[in-house]
Amino acid sequence: MRNFTKELAYKTSRSSGAGGQNVNKVETSVTVMWNVADTEFFSSEEVELILAKLKNRINLDGILQLTVSESRTQLQNKKIATEKILELVEKSLIKPKPRKATKPSKRQIEKRITAKKQISEKKENRRFRF
């Protein structure tokens, strides 16, 4: 897992929801921002992969944003946000294995057809004949 925390920028804001005066006066919500295009930690191929996989989370300026307001403290939210963005980028770099096309064996085809015939016969025997 690559650590690109030096390129991350943080912005704090007031958390929403219940919490009384603490919510109204303390900026505990943390938004972590990372400019994907200007990174020095990843190659151009990896950047393209990140941009493709996380295109729904990256804005028009090429910045990946993530807001966390899970904890009551700003420091804890900053730590959670950093971990989440590192994990998100790490998961986006994983290339899926290409699917190998396969055909069913002759035995499998024969078995399926005989099963279909048995079911067909069973249903045919249920019919009422005059």
Q: According to the model, what pLDDT value does residue 77 have?
A: 93
On the question of pLDDT at 20 being above 80, the answer is no
Euclidean distance between CA atoms 88 and 50, whole angstroms = 9
Q: Judging by beta carbons within 10 Å of its beta carbon (0-12, 13-18, 19+), is residue 81 exposed, middle or buried?
A: buried
64 and 57 Cβ atoms separated by less than 8 Å: yes
Question: What pTM was computed for the model?
Answer: 0.70
On the question of pLDDT at 16 being above 80, the answer is no
Question: Tokens for 22?
Answer: 């603490």
